[in-house]
Amino acid sequence: MKKLLYGIIMLSIMLTACSQKDNQSVKSQTTEPKQVEKETEDKYVSKEVKYYEIENPGRELMDIEKELLRYPGIYSGDQYDEEKVKEALDQLPDHLTKEQYMEELIYLLSEDYHKEMETLIHFDSSVNVDIERPDEAVNAPTLKTAHYAILIDASGSMKAPSGNKSRMEAAKAAVLEFAEQIPEHATISLRVYGHKGSGSNSDKKLSCSSSENFYNGNFDQSKFNEALNKVKPVGWTPIALALETVKEDIPENTEDVIVYVVSDGIETCDGDPAQAAKDLVSADIETVVNIIGFDVDNEGQKLLKEVASAGKGEFTYVNSERDLKRYLRAQYEEIQRNWLEWKEAGKSQAIEIKEEKKKLSIDTKESMKEKSIREKERMKLAQAHLKERFEDYNHPAANMFSMIVDYGDAKWRYAVDTGNQAWSESVDNGNQEWSNYVDEGNKKINETIDKKNKK
């Protein structure tokens, strides 16, 4: 009986032990999924990074440029709040690598550089000044398109002597020298009137109906001289007809016309040159009619003055080749003044554009430098907070200082190097454009002075 009782007790103890072991096994199985779940929660997920796009950069962007185009951190610029940054840092896991902690600092604190990057990547350091070359006597840096129309009297009286030449020879020489001074972009025409028939009454109708363009376009010395040589003094003096038909010589899109009528007498073909001059200047194109009277008597001078007055121009009396050249030399002086004004305007604009681009490059560089320094200092503060939090000298967050410095310095150096390059190129290009206007302006001025001094 005792043996039976002992057996029952032992069996009961064994069953109880087995039951406890089974319970522990079940308990272990139910807690294991919770540990897996906690590990999943602590797994680090990198932040999604977005970048601004530069339209048509013209080349492959460098890595530092791409980094500078990263969207700004949530606490960058004026959004910075040190306490909120610390709160965000306190939510980070304690097992990240220093690269992952750095990525978090960038996500929080990286500044916005995309506007400065737009400026630097698309920076145009060229300095181009575009001022029209002088083409007439107008006191303005930018001058209008001009046409010079020269009307030469081919009446028989132009055969008369003037010094050791005929009036016609003296007029041709003076006109040719004047034409040589016409600005490159201006046009010039040569119209002859009264050049057909003869001075006889029987040929009056023919001569009085003759007005012909011998040359039109930009000045070409050989061709212009060839046209001049065709002019022969033979007929009557249809000044009115010449003023009426000169409209045919004016190119399209011409803004100003300066007409020079060279004659040794008055209208002899029953025309009304004063009315013709008045009609000419009342047209859409701004026109001035200047009359050069060559050895004209008193009555002729009076009548030619009326024509010049009607044409809003001036009458100049010359009785020799010297007088004619003196008059035309005064025209050279006006052209000389225009070239001087053109040069000074070009210099001024070149400096102005250069200074604008210098300022843009400096302002952009300084803005990026300021942001990179601010960003670096804020990251240093953030790293200091992480070091304090983990209190472990070997923790990854404690070994990020050089990474932060290198990251900030790379942005700073890019701003300095690229900004300085833009500044330097702007200076060089601005100085070159300034020199271009000085060189061309001085050349043209000296050429005009040389021509004037030959008179």
H, E, C per residue of 103-133:
HHHHHHHCCCCHHHHHHHHCCCCCCCCCCCC
With beta carbons less than 8 A apart as the criterion, state whether 247 and 240 touch: no
> Tens digit of pLDDT per residue, the chain (455 long)?
334 333 433 434 343 444 444 444 333 333 343 433 333 345 778 888 999 999 999 999 999 999 999 999 999 999 999 999 999 999 999 999 999 999 999 999 999 999 999 999 999 999 998 888 775 343 333 345 789 999 999 888 888 887 788 888 888 887 888 888 777 778 999 999 998 989 899 999 999 999 999 999 999 999 999 999 999 999 899 999 989 999 899 888 888 888 988 887 788 999 998 898 888 887 777 788 888 777 777 777 787 888 878 878 887 765 555 566 666 677 777 777 888 888 899 899 989 999 999 999 999 999 999 999 999 999 999 999 999 998 888 999 999 999 999 999 999 999 999 999 999 999 999 999 899 989 988 888 887 777 666 65
Compute, in degrees rounded to 10, the torsion defined by CA atoms 219, 225, 226, 227: 70
Phi first, then psi, for residue 321 (nearest 5°) are -60, -35
For residue 237, count other CB atoms closer than 10 A to its CB: 28
DSSP helix/strand/coil, 260: strand
Site of tokens 């960058």: 76
Residue 319 confidence (pLDDT): 58
Q: H-type helices in 156-249, by residue range?
A: 167-179, 204-208, 221-229, 239-245
Which sequence spans correspond to the domains of the chain? Answer: 63-127+348-454, 147-313
Q: By C-alpha distance, which of 291, 237, 302 is closest to 259?
A: 291
Of the chain, the end-to-end C-alpha distance in Å amounts to 160
CATH 3.10.580.10 fits 147-313, yes or no: no
Q: Which residues contact 81 (CB under 8 A, 6 or more apart)?
A: 75
303-306: which pairs have CB atoms within 8 A and are 24 or more residues apart? 303/266, 303/267, 304/263, 304/266, 306/274
pLDDT of res. 35: 39
- Give 278's contacts (C-beta < 8 A, 6+ positions apart): 310, 311
